[in-house]
Amino acid sequence: MDITSCLPMNTVHAIGSTSSGICAVIQDEMRKKHPAPYVSFSHVPPALVRESLDNPEAFGSRAVRICYDEDTRRLIVKIPGNQHEVATWHLSKRIINDTTSMGLDDQLLLKGAARVEDAPVKKEPDASFRPVHRPPGRDQKWPSVVIESGWSESDARLEVDANLWIGRSEGLVQVVIAVCIDRDQELVTFKKYVPAQAPLPRLQTLRSHSWRAALSETIAVSRVNQVVTVTGAPLTIRFEEMFLRPASSPLHVGYTFDAAALQKVAEMARGRLAGAVWAGSPCEGGQEVTGAPFVIRFEDMFLRPARGTFEMDYVFDAERRQSLAELVWDEGSDVSD
C-alpha cells in the first residue's frame, strides 16, 4: 500500500532533504492553533530516518509519529494533539489494569510507539502491545495489538494505517484500534480492525499481500445538549488476540471496554470529564475551579526527557483539583471538631 494514500486535504507538503528543514516545518506547524494532522515530506534520505531512532527530537518533537518508505523517500509525519495522546494513554492504562487483573502483568510487553521496520517501510504506532512469549517462528518485531488515533478528517487515513499494520505483517498484527476524534462535535469513534484474507488490488502498490484490515466493531460516543450517547459498545480484544494463545485460566477473560469505560476515555480526550468542569463552570456543591489544569512536566519530575507514549506529564484537571481541595476541607473540618 502507498503510504501516502488517503491523507486529508489539509496535509502539509514539503521537501525533507535535511533534518533541520524537517524539524523547522514540524515545529512551525505545531505552533499553530490548529496544526495540520499530517506533514508529507519528499526526498528524505534514509540516513535521516535511521538517525532519528537515537534522537527523539530529530523531527521537531518526540510526540510525532512517522511512516517512511525508503524506496520512494517519502516520510509521513503525524502530529498528534493532546486529545489523541490522552485517549491513547487511557486505553493503554485500561489494558494494563485488565492485564494485571488477569495475573499476567509480567506476560505482556508494552511496546509504546516503538518503530517497526519492514523493508522498505518503517512505521510508528501511537501504542502497541506484544506478549512476552510468542508462538514459535513468529517475527518478534510485530505487535499483536496496535492503537492509532487521529482527527475525524483523518478517518480514511486511519484505515490505511490499519491496512499497513495488518497487511505488511501478513496478519500477524491481530488487532488495530483506531480512535477518531471530531474537531467540531463532541464525538469520539472507536473502531476495531482485524485481519481478513481477501486481497484487494488497490492495496498492492508496494507489495502483494494476502491480508487486509477488516472492520469488526464500531463504537461512537457523542454528547449533545449534555446528553451522552454510546452506540455499538462494547469494544473487545479477545485474550487470544492479545496473547496469541488460548486462555488457560478462568481469569483470562480478555479485554472488554463497556459503554461507561469508552465514555470516560472519550470525555477525558475531549476535556469534558464530569460535564463542563474543564471550562471552569460551577462544580457540584456550588464551588468553582478556575485556572485548571495544573501540570507537572515529565522532565521536571524525572530530570530527563520522556522516551515513550507512557511517559507523560502529570495533569491535574478541574475535577482532580476539586477532589484534592475537598479532601483538605474535610481534613480541616475533622481537626477543628
pLDDT digits (tens, 9 = 90+) for 288-332: 445 556 678 777 777 777 776 667 777 766 655 555 554 344 334
Q: What is the separation, in whole angstroms, between the first and last Cα of the chain?
A: 70
The three grid cell numbers given for residue 265, joined into one nine-digit string:
476515555
pLDDT tens, position by position, 64-88: 999 999 999 999 999 988 889 999 9
Angle between helices 82-101 and 259-270 (to 10 degrees): 150
For 230-241, how does the pLDDT look when each residue is reduced to its tens digit (9 = 90+)?
999 999 999 999
**Residue 312 confidence (pLDDT):** 74
CA angle in degrees (0–180, nearest 5) for 200-11-62: 100
| Predicted local distance difference test score (pLDDT) of residue 326 | 46
Q: What is the pLDDT of residues 95-116, one digit of tens each?
A: 999 999 999 999 999 998 999 9
Over range 27-41, report the average pLDDT: 93
What pLDDT sits at residue 291?
56
Query: Hey, where are the domains in the chain?
Result: 1-79, 81-270, 273-337
In 124-265, DSSP assigns E strands to: 127-131, 145-151, 175-181, 187-196, 212-224, 227-231, 235-237, 255-257
Fold of 81-270: tt1808, chain A (3.90.1570)
pLDDT at 116: 96
Residue type, 165: W
Q: Does residue 272 carry a pLDDT above 80? A: no
pLDDT of 290 reads 55
Q: What is the pLDDT of residue 310?
A: 65
Residue 147 and residue 128 in contact, taking contact as beta carbons nearer than 8 Å: yes
- The helix, strand and coil proportions of the chain, stated in percent and rounded to the nearest 5, come to 30, 25, 40
CB contact set of 311 (below 8 Å; sequence gap of 6+): 298, 302
Q: Cα separation of 178 and 151, whole Å?
A: 10
DSSP class per residue in 45-76? -HHHHHHTTT-TTTTS-TT-EEEEETTTTEEE
Average pLDDT score over the chain: 84
Position with higher pLDDT, 54 vs 190: 190
